[in-house]
Amino acid sequence: MEIALTAVRPDSPDGLTALRAYAGELARRWPDRAPEPQWSEELIADDPLALTPPSGIFVVAKQGERVVACGGLRLEGGDVPPGAGEIKRMWVDPDVRGQGLGRRVLAHLTDLAREAGLRRLVLDTADDLLEARALYAREGFVETEPYNANPYAHHWYSRDLW
């Protein structure tokens, strides 16, 4: 079945489905650091409009009616370095991993960053998110110095776009 990428508001039904799945997976991986259910709801409520225009964009991937992946691009605000965009909330449903969907979502967000005139992408990730770290390395991201104080991050990456 075809998988379609669509920009949505993070607080829309599809956006919330994706963010709850993302937060739920992190909570399962980090039971001591991310106790459920309050952790997931706090994560979803944290800066809810940061991934809506003009500050950013949030993309979901749907296979039929089922949300199977998501990713966001923060264009401004907070810790985003000048001229850069920040990749946020990347998640792929474990049932469809290994089919290139993470790469496809990341490529779509990269195209949107270029269209917005950004020169660089940055992101952070946790030590144990090995699939994400491998994806970022394959897609040309290089490990850099921390650009934020995210308490869950252990690795920071950047990639020049031009």
Q: Which amino acid is at 106?
A: L
pTM above 0.95, yes or no: no
Q: Residue 128 is part of which domain span?
A: 3-160
Whether 92 and 55 have beta carbons less than 8 Å apart is answered as no
Average of per-residue pLDDT across 53-66: 95
Q: Supply the Cα-derived Rg of the chain in whole angstroms.
A: 15
Distance, in Å, from the CA atom of 100 to the CA atom of 77, rounded to the nearest integer, reads: 30
| Number of domains making up the chain | 1
pLDDT range class, residue 89, cuts 50, 70, 90: very high
CATH number of the domain residue 33 falls in: 3.40.630.30
Distance, in Å, from the CA atom of 51 to the CA atom of 77, rounded to the nearest integer, reads: 10
Distance, in Å, from the CA atom of 90 to the CA atom of 18, rounded to the nearest integer, reads: 10
pLDDT range class, residue 141, cuts 50, 70, 90: very high
| pLDDT at res. 57 | 95
Query: b/e per residue, 77-109, with b = 16+ CB within 10 A?
Result: eeebeeebbbbbbbbbbeebeeeebbebbbebb
